[in-house]
Amino acid sequence: MNVNLLPQKFVKNRAMDLIIFITISVVVFFTIVLVLVNLLFQVQAKQLEAKVQQAKIEKVTLQQKVTELEATQSKDIQDFLQTFKADKKLMEPILSEFEKVAKELQLVILNYDILLSEKNENNENQNLIGADGTKLFQPITIKIQGDMFDNSPRFKEEIEKIKWVYDVHPISFTNNADQIEAEYTIRLKKEQIPSVQQEGEKTSE
């Protein structure tokens, strides 16, 4: 009896080839997957590193801005204090004279303020030059309280008698019970203000 084993052998060989092919395919597939995952991790790592570097740059930039801002604020505060001290020194003899007049008229000075002059279309300061060409100091507003029916006109007249006062203009009157609050704008002759004269005398000496 003749038995033909070739078909069975052929089938076995094809089965082995199929197993090898599937094994190689699986290995290649997982290799590709690992490579892709590795590349993905590298890309994400680079992106994260770039974000960290950007954050560091932003932090350094922010610190520089904070330092500059602190320096600017410090300078502004110093300038403000110097200006405040200068204004206080300038206003002491002026207010002393105003208080003397107010006391004689039985009036009380409530507060005062130095106005900032606005600039016109020609970029020139307003209210710093009088109608006769006199150089003026920044206008001062002053608020007083007391029996103003008789003393208000006298207060304006007495203040205008001071040699370094250019003019006085009433702004408002407020009736508060038995007391009247009045506000005035006072313009001073810049070159005749007591403290300015004292500085000029020291310079000439």
Nearest partner of 107 among 39, 159, 32, 51, judged by Cα: 159
Residue 94 located in a structural domain: yes
Q: For 61-87, give the secondary structure using H, E and C.
A: HHHHHHHHHHHHHHHHHHHHHHHHHHH
Question: Domain tally for the chain?
Answer: 1
What tens digit of pLDDT does each residue of 12-62 get?
Answer: 556 677 788 888 888 889 899 998 988 888 888 888 888 888 888 877 777
Q: Is residue 65 part of a domain?
A: no
Range of the domain at 135: 90-204
Residue 182 resides in a domain: yes
CATH of the domain at 139: 3.30.70.60
Q: Exposed, middle or buried: residue 141 (CB in 10 Å: 0-12, 13-18, 19+)?
A: middle
**Is residue 118 in some structural domain?**
yes
Residue 51: what pLDDT? 83
Strand 165-176 to 140-146 pairing: unpaired
The verdict on residue 60 lying in a domain is: no
Instruction: Choose among 90, 114, 95, 96: nearest CA to 198.
Output: 90
Which residues in the chain land under pLDDT 70? 1-15, 69-90, 116-127, 148, 177-178, 195-205
Whether 179 and 147 have beta carbons less than 8 Å apart is answered as yes
Residue 175 lies in a domain: yes
Q: Tell me whether residue 79 is in a domain.
A: no
pLDDT of 148: 63
Residue 38 lies in a domain: no
